[in-house]
Amino acid sequence: MAIAVHIPGPLLPFSGGRRRVLVEGGGGTVGGVLAALGRDCPGVVARVLQEDGAIRQHVNIFVGAESVRWTGGLATPVADGGEVSILPAVSGGAVGGVPTVIFACIHNAGRSQMAAAWFQRLADPAKARAISAGTRPAERVHPEVQAAMLEAGIDLSGARPRKLTAELAAGAARLFTLGCGEECPAIPGVPVEDWPLPDPKGQGIDAVRGIRDEVRRRVEALLRREGWAARS
């Protein structure tokens, strides 16, 4: 079982300068991955976890595009081949000087989940991060969206739609709305860009693949434009 752990710039001196560390084992949870990481990069883990094993307040950990603070903490599952990102926690919307981008739609079960997942996969975590949310979150990510993203190597089975709240949006650098029309949320003082994409809910797999690929193209263009793309 191999998990990729992404290390932010401030912790590079404690990871031997590596931005991405492959961890073998880990037992399928974030806690297990960190324990395995600690054998290779103990200095990183010491700055992520307190002595009692709790996640430090100034740190956030993501599995794919989802913060473990929302999905079960150290018990959050991580699939084989998954990705874990360690980032400074949001404080007044700033992430250690790293811009936070919000992808939003109505149900946070399709397009916005795709966009945030692609962003987290393709962006340099030391330069920007993304979260997703909705105005009326669904109970789960659409199964057809999970299937299409899994084909691309991104597991959204553990992702949970969540509500776009003032606290979540505080200090966001950018808001991208995805085809939700007049129901799209607005955050005062935050620049908004709309991506008018069709809703994948209930569509056949070929149509969902097309939406998935268009979302990726738009995310890649955004990252190039802003200089946020990870080094290949």
* Average of per-residue pLDDT across 16-23: 82
For residue 223, the cross-strand partners are none
* Average of per-residue pLDDT across 37-47: 86
Tens digit of each residue's pLDDT (9 = 90 or more) over 169-187: 766 888 899 987 777 766 7
* Average of per-residue pLDDT across 77-85: 85
Structural domain span for residue 184: 90-232
Q: Are 56 and 149 members of one domain?
A: no
pLDDT for res 24: 83
Tens digit of each residue's pLDDT (9 = 90 or more) over 98-150: 888 999 999 999 999 999 999 999 999 888 889 999 989 999 999 999 999 99
Structure tokens at 103: 């992808």
| Residue that wins the pLDDT comparison between 96 and 160 | 160
| 158 has pLDDT over 80 | yes
pLDDT for res 44: 85
| 91 has pLDDT over 60 | no
pLDDT for res 146: 96
| 37 has pLDDT over 80 | yes
How many structural domains are present in the chain? 2
Q: Are 84 and 129 members of one domain?
A: no
Q: Do the beta carbons of residue 47 and residue 56 sit within 8 Å?
A: yes
| 194 has pLDDT over 70 | yes
Residue 157 corresponds to which amino acid?
Answer: S
Q: Are 230 and 133 members of one domain?
A: yes
Q: Which helix (H) or strand (E) holds 215?
A: helix 205-226
* Average of per-residue pLDDT across 74-83: 85
Q: Are 53 and 161 members of one domain?
A: no
Q: Is 86 helix (H, G, I), strand (E, B) or coil?
A: strand
Q: Mutual orientation of helices 143-151 and 205-226 as an angle, nearest 10°?
A: 60
Q: Where does a domain end: 28, 55, 88?
A: 88
Q: Are 166 and 123 members of one domain?
A: yes
| Residue that wins the pLDDT comparison between 161 and 66 | 161
Mean pLDDT in the chain?
84
| Residue that wins the pLDDT comparison between 73 and 201 | 201
Structure tokens at 223: 């990252």
Q: Are 140 and 222 members of one domain?
A: yes
Q: Where does a domain end: 32, 65, 88?
A: 88
